[in-house]
Amino acid sequence: MKPIEDRQIKEDDQLYVLHSWSKQKDVDPKIIKKASGIFFWDDAGKKHYDMCSQLVYLNVGHNHPRLMEEFKHIGEVPLSSPGFATASKAELARKIIEVAPKNMAKVFFANAGADSNDHAVKIARMVTGRYKIFSRYRSYHGATFGAGNLSGENRRFTVEPGLPGFIKFETPYLYRESIHFDSEEAAAAFYVDRLNSQILYEGPDSIAAIFMETIPGSNGVLIPPKGYMEGVRELCTKYGILMICDEVMAGFGRTGKMFAVEHFDIKPDIMTFAKGVTCGYSPLGGVIVSQAIADYFDGHVLMTGLTYSGHTVSTQIGCATLDIYKDEHLVEHAAEMGDVLAERLEQLKARFVSVGDVRHIGLFAAVELVKDKQTKEPIIAYGMDYGKDTVGLMKKFVGLLLNQGFYTYSHESSVIIAPPLIITAEQINEAMDLFESALAMFEKEYLF
Ligand code: PLP
């Protein structure tokens, strides 16, 4: 492709491109001119700390030399339809099973997160012969019609009135729970008991799967209380319901473990993945199924498919990406750097009146802002205009962060912090200094 001037790119973008989740007249995108590691430079020459790994997928950082090199080694047969076996598809499936929980056996490859979740729903329905799917409020599973119905926040209103049989239940969110619990275990028991009632009222024999983000990400890194995931697993086993964990955002090292499910004493029946498997260098997602489900499809037709399932280029990039996690010890590094980030976040909570809560696990974190620490009045009240930032306060804060060179995004009143896993302790501290400067300005100018 010939070089094109920035002015021309922006003009064509404005004329011909539809941008997601936006009023098009409000869209004024920057251009990334140069990128390396945790940094990128925009078309005004400004340097940014990429503190959300683009959309929480760039775990190995920008322009990783091994991945850039891998593109030069795409094999002599760069494509074949899904019915063919290819070296990269076979190898990547094996590599994923090697790092997945022990009960996992096979992989169905999809294109990205949402369609992986759609396929997980179809697989659960095929295997169980049941049709209802439970998923949670305060979750995001993607924008396709199926994944949109799974999602439990305002982005799902775009697919309403929605599909019959998609049932929502509550995500534990202790910071905003009106009931006081003496321990995390007590909270877990409460939520699991409520879920049990809901299952009974819906009829266990009609429920194919309980679908959860292992740790809900975009909705504010809502870490489950101790014993909750195990409790849900027990209910699934008791009623013959499949437990599906969406690891699209939390998987591949983000939480300091290869998969977030490893933080709990559970083995899901199905896991979905995308983002970190290739770190976005080429689109790829997939569904990992247990041995029991894999066995089921030995004798039953897997009634689904995608033209690009297991695409050769993406799976080759996936193989190289998984090698990088291993060779650079990125998962262990994420856990160590998570401690550095955690310390800064806890200090933030202690020092700033507008920080209501901080939640963190590995390099997966959220800062929840409030107008009043005592009453926990949120910056944006959920349920008010579907959680939209009508006065634009969170937008203003994200803008202040951007001016400081701290690139990230927010959801309701929470700001996501999820840098590439290659980040160093020094870089975390530099970036968090920028965060603090922006927060001080925000409090002074807009809050108190
Ligand atoms: N699941 C989770 C947990 C996600 O965070 C996302 C996207 O952010 C998706 C699914 C959808 O993935 P995609 O946008 O690749 O379809």
pLDDT-based confidence at residue 97 (cuts at 50, 70, 90): very high
pTM: 0.97
d(CA 217, CA 226): 18
pLDDT-based confidence at residue 392 (cuts at 50, 70, 90): confident
Q: How many CB atoms lie within 10 A of CB 445?
A: 11
Distance 181 CA to ligand 1 centre (A): 32
The three-state secondary structure class of 364 is strand
Please list the alpha-helical segments (H only) found in 167-219: 184-202
Q: Is 276 in the pocket of ligand 1 (CB under 6 A)?
A: no
To test ligand 1's pocket by mutation, which of 249, 270, 282 has the most ligand atoms within 8 angstroms of CB? 249
pLDDT of 354 above 70: yes
- Among residues of the chain, what percentage have pLDDT more than 90? 92
Q: Is 152 in the pocket of ligand 1 (CB under 6 A)?
A: no
Cα→Cα distances 129→62, 133, 363, Å: 44, 12, 39
Distance 364 CA to ligand 1 centre (A): 15
Distance 211 CA to ligand 1 centre (A): 13
CB 276 within 8 A of CB 362: no
Q: How far apart are the first and last CA of the chain?
A: 51
Distance 443 CA to ligand 1 centre (A): 32
Distance 441 CA to ligand 1 centre (A): 32
For residue 358, the model assigns a pLDDT of: 98
CB 355 within 8 A of CB 320: no
Question: Cβ neighbours of residue 59 under 8 Å, at least 6 residues apart?
Answer: 53, 252, 253, 254, 275, 276, 279, 325, 330, 420, 421, 422
pLDDT digits (tens, 9 = 90+) for 211-236: 999 999 999 999 999 999 999 999 99
Q: Is 112 in the pocket of ligand 1 (CB under 6 A)?
A: yes
Q: Is 218 in the pocket of ligand 1 (CB under 6 A)?
A: yes
Domains annotated for the chain, with CATH where assigned, are 6-60+329-447 (3.90.1150.10), 70-327 (3.40.640.10)
Residue 152, token pair as written in the block? 């439990």
Which residue, by CA, sits nearest to atom 10 of ligand 1?
Answer: 141
Residue 267, token pair as written in the block? 């083995």
CB 42 within 8 A of CB 34: no
Distance 151 CA to ligand 1 centre (A): 10
Q: Is 354 in the pocket of ligand 1 (CB under 6 A)?
A: no
Mean pLDDT of 200-207: 98
pLDDT-based confidence at residue 388 (cuts at 50, 70, 90): low
**H or E stretch including 397?**
helix 393-404
Give strand ranges (E) for 254-324. Answer: 270-273, 285-290
Cα→Cα distances 202→135, 172, 233, Å: 13, 20, 18
Q: Minimum mean pLDDT among 61-65, 378-382, 437-441: which range?
A: 378-382
Q: Is 217 in the pocket of ligand 1 (CB under 6 A)?
A: yes
Q: Is 244 in the pocket of ligand 1 (CB under 6 A)?
A: no
Cα→Cα distances 258→77, 94, 308, Å: 31, 15, 26
3-state helix, strand, coil in the chain (%, to 5): 45, 20, 40
**H or E stretch including 169?**
strand 166-169
For residue 158, the model assigns a pLDDT of: 87
What letters, b where the CB count within 10 A reaches 16 and e where it falls short, cover 236-261? beebebbbbbbbbbbbbbbbbbbbbb
What is the average pLDDT value for the chain, to the nearest integer? Answer: 96
**What is the torsion angle, in degrees rounded to the nearest 10, for the CA atoms of residue 306, residue 311, residue 314 and residue 316?**
150
> Judging by beta carbons within 10 Å of its beta carbon (0-12, 13-18, 19+), is residue 303 exposed, middle or buried?
exposed
For residue 347, the model assigns a pLDDT of: 98
Please list the alpha-helical segments (H only) found in 76-161: 87-99, 113-128, 145-150
